[in-house]
Amino acid sequence: MGTRPCKQRRARLTAGALLALQISLIALASHGTAAADSPRPSIAVTAAGAPAAVRPARLRATAVGAYDAGVLAAARRYARSLYRQASAVSTAGRPGGESGRPGGKSAPGQPVRLGHAQATQLLRNAGLRWMSSGGCSNRRVGTCTSLEAVRAATVENVIALKRRSGCPVVVTGGTEVGHAPGRYSHHRGYKLDIELNPCINGYITREHVLDGVRGDGAALYRDEGTVYARESDHWDILFL
């Protein structure tokens, strides 16, 4: 039986509408779900003046690039802060680049000296501890442990000792009063006391040369520029 002309036209319009809807759905899918490894061709928008569609892979690349740039910028800022901190110590002790005031400016022939807070912060950042039997840091009190006016080179060297040995290092004596006087003394920032422990005891006695006994009976070990004196409850270390 033949189909009437009006019914045929209605069927063609319905099929055309379904086809248009299918094309629209395909266009939307190509924007949101196209795989990066098999990109579909860009679908141009037919509206006048509208730009061509952007592939999802390109959108993802743009987003990842922006994220990576942010991460790299943060990493660079962190690295610069670490570099500035390390530079404060690593330049210590160089001729013509030292100072006689805590955390002070350079003055030829004088050692760079740090304030107590500055020195203890450097120790903490490097994994060392600071301890005071009196729970204080006043340089004028013998029961305190102070690093006020310590040489930056001394702090640098005790940090290097911790890194070489891999041992825990706890500073128990600094520039406070009560130590023996002298040109290369605690008070002048050349010496530190550190707590005894089996790890650091073994490292010093194994890796350094036994070099006699001090007047007070302390065994002396030394390497180039450093003398370790084994006292009853701590190591008394001279960093030259």
| pLDDT tens sequence for the chain (240 residues) | 454 554 555 545 444 544 444 544 444 444 444 443 444 444 444 434 444 444 444 444 444 444 455 545 555 555 455 445 545 554 443 333 344 444 544 466 789 999 999 999 999 999 999 999 999 999 999 999 999 999 999 999 999 999 999 999 999 999 999 999 999 999 999 999 999 999 999 999 999 999 999 999 999 999 988 999 999 999 999 999
**What integer pLDDT is reported at residue 107 of this predicted model?**
61
**What integer pLDDT is reported at residue 110 of this predicted model?**
86
Other Cβ atoms closer than 10 A to 72: 10
- Contact 199/162 with Cβ under 8 angstroms? no
Residue written as tokens 């006016």? 149
Q: Which two tokens stand for residue 96?
A: 């013509």
CA distances from 61 to 55, 57, 66, 71 (A): 10, 6, 9, 15
- Contact 127/162 with Cβ under 8 angstroms? yes
Residue written as tokens 């001394």? 154
- Per-residue buried b or exposed e for 199-214, using 16+ beta carbons within 10 Å of the residue's own CB: ebeebbeeeeeeeeee
- Contact 197/234 with Cβ under 8 angstroms? no
d(CA 145, CA 155): 14
Where do runs of H (alpha helix) occur along 126-231? 152-165, 198-207
**What integer pLDDT is reported at residue 211 of this predicted model?**
95
